[in-house]
Amino acid sequence: MLKTLNFYVAKNFLFTFLMAMGVLTFGMTGARLVKVFEYISNGVNISTAMLFMMYVLPIALAFTIPWAALVSIMLVFGRLSADNEITAMRACGVSILQIVAPIIMLTFALTCLCLYLQLDVGPRYLGKAQVVVKSVAVDHPLALFEPGIPIEFDNLSMYIDQKNPETGEIKGIQVYNLSKDAKRIEQDVTASSGKIVVDKVAQKMDIILENATIIAYENNNDEHPRRTFGKEMKFTLEYGKEFNRKRIALRDKHLGYEGLYARSIIERKRNSTERICEIETELNQRVALALAPMAFLLLGLPMAIRTSRRETSIGLFMSVLLAGLYFGSVLVSDSLKSTPWMFPQYIVWIPPALYQIFGAIYIFRIARR
């Protein structure tokens, strides 16, 4: 009978988990999908755009797998409790630990998978996604210009309202020409229309503005700037030089655990306290986030049993709340990683510890009843 019960519970959990993971992954990667479609509309090869999508998928799964596990736990055990199935099982002599034994094994397997994604696969492929973005920028520079989003080259900051990827025509243009130290605006150039002419061989592009209005400032407090008009104004940007100069530096977030460990050894030899703290915080964050399935099991299981609610909305609300608090609290340490005196590498463990301690106590109390 116990095997039948375990199979029944595991089947319900896996079915709900796969459904939840699909929905959550699609939701989390929705913004990336929009970016992929924008690349394709700008002439980027479909295979390149989809490759970018595949590279960002592992790190998305590292977050959606724990969340989907929590949703499954809240929904499945909330329904079992509401239908008095757990009460019936316990009346037959089956303990809480025997009921949840298959879920514990499945959650442990999911935790191992999340560790692999967070410590190795996710960061490395996220770095590869950045390389894809760079190649798109060099091969398809028009893809860099997104309406309403500023783009910066050297001391220029440019906005456009509309663009035509096929002809290179742009509308609603505003260009800020900044000083060399980028602390003040020297020129504010606006134009209703213009055109981008790309020379892929030389990796240059000319931004030609028609009927431009140029406002020149002498200083930050210039109350009477000089205003001039130009029938045509041209900016030449060496985008190839710009992007090739910017080596895709492997940030901490793009390194696997071996790379982070090697980098921490180098920084220790340099006695760089701040950098050591940043690296340790990054590594501890990944482990804490990867342990989320176990933490969610320990706290979510007793909450689902005690609430005894069958309504899906209650389970979804509780899962969103618990997951949001956990992920948010762990990621708070990211804003503190440059302040070693606050020990962010240890603060990151407060949410996992609280979830697991209170969850274990909660389960123990239910098991004794």
Rounded to a whole number of angstroms, the distance between the first and last alpha carbons of the chain is 22
pLDDT tens readout for residues 40-92 = 666 677 777 788 888 889 999 999 999 999 888 888 888 887 777 777 777 77
- Is residue 189 a contact partner of residue 217, using CB atoms and an 8 Å limit? no
Q: Token pair for residue 175?
A: 């260009």
Neighbours of 128 (CB within 10 A): 17
pLDDT of residue 111: 94
- Is residue 204 a contact partner of residue 193, using CB atoms and an 8 Å limit? no
Neighbours of 352 (CB within 10 A): 21
In three-state form (DSSP H/G/I as H, E/B as E, the rest C), the secondary structure along 241-297 is HHHHHCCCCCCHHHCCHHHHHHHHHHHHHHCCHHHHHHHHHHHHHHHHHHCHHHHHH
pLDDT of residue 106: 92
pLDDT of residue 112: 94
Residue among 29, 64, 68, 27 nearest 50 (CA): 29
pLDDT tens readout for residues 111-143 = 999 999 999 898 988 888 877 777 666 666 677
Report phi then psi at 157, rounded to 5: -125, 125
Low-confidence ranges of the chain (pLDDT < 50): 248
What is the enclosing helix (H) or strand (E) of 85?
A: helix 85-91
Distance CA 101, CA 120 (A): 29
Distance CA 364, CA 369 (A): 9
